[in-house]
């Protein structure tokens, strides 16, 4: 039996890895199959490649990574440890170890797929889950295609194929996330510091009020650390009135409080209400009709397959919901058309990190080094050079 100390030395694992795996190492050894785990065998790899739609070069790289794990006992042992903690360990055993390192961790023996394979190794059980809930095989394939998307992303950033989004992929395997057409939808709850009201006679009308006591700058966004507050939000609701600094139709917080008659409005979304969080996978144009169709599919899919999950609406946080984009992009652009499907509102702590990551490819690039090939890249840079701050925003639809 390979001890944890032997494995750590052979693979040059950092000292911090011991807190993840050492305490339960001997217990997982008892359950380890002879040889390498099933999820690095050829038949599993071929199935995963086909299901996820990996390109030919990525498939070859994945097969090489799996073969390396099969050849090297320490790699096979570590892959099993991660997989066992994720899916086979008892709750008490999981409390004594962490299955996955942070996404910034070095991959052992330079194997760029080991942790992702340990996560995806529960695919047979996931298939049974989909069948139990009568979910079409195409939804499974579309959902697992995210693995191919992130494998390509790894290549673009590193010049070789791999996958470092192993933490994210756990959502696909739980599963609590499903791709339906252009968008992904995830079981969630309302965690934003807002309440959403809906007009009783015209339900398409929403009024969004931030919680009381939050600092807002002169532009109607939540203050970042270095900014002075123009106002501190107010909010009060009783049986007769709803009063506070409501979000305007263009997605910023009104510096002047307003009052609505409670008889005309009902609370549609309150703290901790069930929601579907929406995610926007890369790889395709954000075509408005495709996004509308995805929302339509979700409204049918979840009541059909998960009738006990009585969600109140859809919510999302993204750089795409910064209302300032409207000052640079034409109204008929995909991004601006996408915004019109939702009511926007400011994110608490919204900053420019995500827009710089997604538009420039690396949020840490100096402004002199960022690419300027597209009109969007040029607009994002011009905004920053003008001394203005981008702010990731949020969106909701009931």
Same domain, 53 and 132: yes
Q: What pLDDT band is residue 283 in, cutting at 50, 70 and 90?
A: confident
Looking at 250, 269, 288, which one is the last position of a domain? 269
Lowest-pLDDT range of 34-38, 54-58, 190-194, 338-342: 34-38
Which residues form the domain of 45? Answer: 4-169
User: Residue 1 has what pLDDT?
Assistant: 86
Same domain, 246 and 163: no
The pLDDT mean for the chain works out to 96
Same domain, 265 and 287: no
pLDDT tens digits along 287-336: 999 999 999 999 999 999 999 999 999 999 999 999 999 999 999 999 99
* Residue among 183, 179, 167 at smallest CA distance from 143: 179
pLDDT tens digits along 205-224: 999 999 999 999 999 999 99
Cα separation, 383 vs 352, whole angstroms: 11
User: Residue 355 has what pLDDT?
Assistant: 95
User: Residue 159 has what pLDDT?
Assistant: 97
Residue 176 lies in a domain: no
Sheet of 393-397, strands arranged across = 177-180, 183-189, 274-279, 314-318, 393-397, 343-346
Q: What pLDDT band is residue 359 in, cutting at 50, 70 and 90?
A: very high
Residue 155 lies in a domain: yes
Looking at 252, 269, 286, which one is the last position of a domain? 269
Q: Are strands 314-318 and 274-279 parallel, antiparallel or unpaired?
A: parallel
Same domain, 250 and 321: no
pLDDT higher than threshold 90 for residue 229 = yes
Residue 177 lies in a domain: no
Same domain, 223 and 291: no
Count of the separate structural domains present in the chain? 3
**Looking up tokens 């011009």, which residue turns up?**
382
The CATH number given to whatever domain includes residue 382 is 3.40.630.120
CB 337 within 8 A of CB 243: no
pLDDT higher than threshold 90 for residue 35 = no
Q: What pLDDT band is residue 225 in, cutting at 50, 70 and 90?
A: confident
Looking at 108, 134, 169, which one is the last position of a domain? 169
What pTM value is reported for the model?
0.95
Same domain, 292 and 253: no
pLDDT tens digits along 96-125: 999 999 998 999 999 999 999 999 999 999
* Residue among 143, 343, 176, 142 at smallest CA distance from 274: 176
Alpha helices in 101-185 (DSSP H): 114-120, 123-132, 137-158, 166-173
User: Residue 290 has what pLDDT?
Assistant: 97
Cα separation, 192 vs 158, whole angstroms: 35
Same domain, 61 and 115: yes
Residue 175 lies in a domain: no
Same domain, 247 and 351: no
Same domain, 135 and 117: yes
């Amino acid at each position: 039996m390979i001890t944890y100390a032997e494995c750590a030395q052979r693979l040059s694992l950092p000292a911090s890895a011991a807190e993840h795996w050492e305490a339960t190492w001997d217990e997982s050894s008892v359950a380890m199959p002879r040889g390498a785990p099933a999820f690095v065998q050829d038949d599993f790899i071929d199935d995963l490649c086909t299901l996820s739609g990996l390109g030919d070069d990525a498939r070859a790289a994945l097969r090489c990574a799996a073969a390396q794990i099969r050849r090297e006992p320490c790699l096979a042992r570590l892959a099993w440890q991660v997989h066992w903690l994720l899916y086979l360990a008892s709750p008490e055993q999981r409390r004594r170890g962490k299955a996955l390192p942070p996404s910034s961790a070095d991959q052992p023996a330079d194997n760029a797929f080991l942790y992702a394979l340990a996560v995806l190794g529960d695919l047979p059980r996931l298939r049974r889950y989909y069948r139990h809930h009568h979910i079409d095989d195409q939804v499974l394939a579309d959902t697992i295609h995210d693995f191919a998307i992130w494998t390509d992303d790894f290549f673009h950033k590193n010049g070789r194929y791999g996958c470092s989004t192993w933490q994210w992929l756990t959502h696909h395997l739980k599963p609590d996330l499903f791709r339906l057409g252009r968008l992904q939808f995830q079981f969630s709850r309302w965690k934003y510091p807002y309440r959403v009201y809906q007009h009783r006679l015209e339900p398409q009308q929403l009024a969004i009020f931030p919680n009381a006591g939050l600092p807002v700058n002169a532009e109607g966004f939540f203050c970042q650390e270095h900014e002075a507050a123009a106002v501190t939000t107010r909010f009060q609701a009783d049986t007769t009135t709803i009063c506070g600094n409501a979000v305007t139709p263009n997605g910023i917080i009104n510096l002047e409080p307003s009052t609505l008659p409670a008889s005309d409005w009902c609370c549609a979304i309150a703290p901790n209400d069930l929601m579907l969080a929406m995610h926007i996978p890369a790889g395709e144009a954000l075509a408005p009709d495709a996004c509308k169709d995805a929302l339509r599919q979700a409204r049918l899919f979840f009541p059909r397959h998960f009738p006990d999950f009585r969600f109140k609406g859809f919510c999302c946080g993204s750089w795409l919901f910064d209302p300032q984009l409207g000052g640079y992009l034409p109204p008929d652009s995909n991004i601006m058309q996408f915004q019109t499907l939702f009511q926007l509102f400011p994110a608490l702590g919204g900053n420019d990190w995500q827009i710089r990551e997604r538009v420039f490819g690396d949020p840490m690039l100096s402004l002199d080094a960022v690419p300027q090939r597209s009109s969007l890249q040029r607009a994002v840079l011009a905004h920053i050079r003008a001394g203005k701050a981008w702010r990731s925003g949020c969106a909701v639809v009931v």
